[in-house]
Amino acid sequence: MIKTVKDVDLKGKRIIMRVDFNVPMKDGVVQDDTRIMAALPTIKYILEQNPRSLVLMSHLGDPKKDVKKAQEKAEKAGKTWTDADSEKFINGKNRMAPVVKYFSEKLGKEVAFLPDALGQKAAIDALPEGAVAMLENVRFHKEETSKDAAERETMAKELATYGDIFVNDAFGTAHRDQASTATIAKFMKEQPVGGFLMEKEVKYLEPMVTNPPKPMVAIIGGAKVSSKIAVLESLLKNAKYLVIGGGMAYTFLKAQGHNVGKSLVEDDFIDTAKKLLADADAKGVKILLPVDHVGATEFSADAKPVAVDGVDIPSDLMAMDVGSKTVEEYKKAIGEAKSIVWNGPVGVFEFDAFAKGTEAVAHLVAEATGRGAMTVVGGGDSVAAVNKFHLADKMSHVSTGGGASLELLEGKTLPGIAILATK
């Protein structure tokens, strides 16, 4: 287990802390504060310890990439794009100042905004005792995400002068080896520690790979096998049941020789699917694939749902959700579980007509939590699903990191966690 802020003396120390305030923005207004609120317990605890100062840093989108996408979209629609448009877009999407204002209100304490991530040592040294400050978006500097280690180190070295102790509570970026997430550790006198959010993420996600309470059920959905194959292979080691849903299920069904109609299939991964099915069989892991479906003639929210009572799908239909018989199979497996990890929806839950399967899974996992099972929801779409169905508070843990939780479930070592002191 990692050491946290509770394991070190913070009194009178300057704290430099990486948070994940990469929140959705629209015209300079915060649209969802989940990540901000998740960091508050650690921040409040640090301030209770009477530090000399607390300086926060985060990314907020990626200005260069985001503005490029916006420009391409505008030009595709036949609109002209000027430098003024770029500036307006960046001000509304990537500037940290509105986030600082919002966060200050939630914290109930003034937070100083520092207008750059670099060149701020004098301003930080001049902060009043116990002050909180936040740097501008670290990704305005290419060194933050540079693949060149020397470039990252140049930035990290300066960031390290802002504090005596580095605290990493940004699980959402823990899989990135970047200047403010991992490289900074090289230049700190003390070994960095985690915040409470980082501690919780590691506490719940790592056991799902190493030694989960058994029997364990893994529910893996989403569109593509290619993005989830490493997770599937990793979870085979401990799972009793491996539920494969969403678009990726149809690559597996095709690999078994079934007709999948117009459903999403990755033909390049048919052999990979066959191998995984064989590996699961050899390990005694039962793989649950859809046995019935809800289909449609087109991928649209307005498409008419068509029940398909069987595994094979007519040639004019694409699968959009799992059917009621499949949900019954899920119910039996989940009913046995002492631990459940869920990453990815089992249908197109964004469309209400095709959300029933994913909603049923969310309720089944919530019920399992109530019975004492350890339940972990990881991944952006799964989190969006449990939020949509108002069941997030009924799970043991809902991860804040999409890519990070996925890589942790793959059994990878995450740079932002590897740098932290351990107990």
Q: Exactly one of 88, 403, 411, 412 is catalytic; name it.
A: 403
| Pick from 139, 136, 141: nearest CA to 112 | 136
Return the amino acid letter for 376. V
Q: Give yes or no: 380 in active site.
A: yes
Q: Exactly one of 380, 401, 402, 416 is catalytic; name it.
A: 380
CA 220 to CA 208: how far, in whole Å? 13
| Main-chain phi, psi angles of 359, to 5 degrees | -65, -40
CA 189 to CA 198: how far, in whole Å? 21
Q: Exactly one of 35, 152, 356, 394 is catalytic; name it.
A: 35
Asked whether the bond before 207 is cis by omega within 30 degrees of 0, the reply is no
Q: Give yes or no: 119 in active site.
A: no
Q: Give yes or no: 35 in active site.
A: yes
- For residue 9 the two structure tokens come to 């003396």
Any idea which residues carry the catalytic annotation?
A: 35, 224, 380, 403
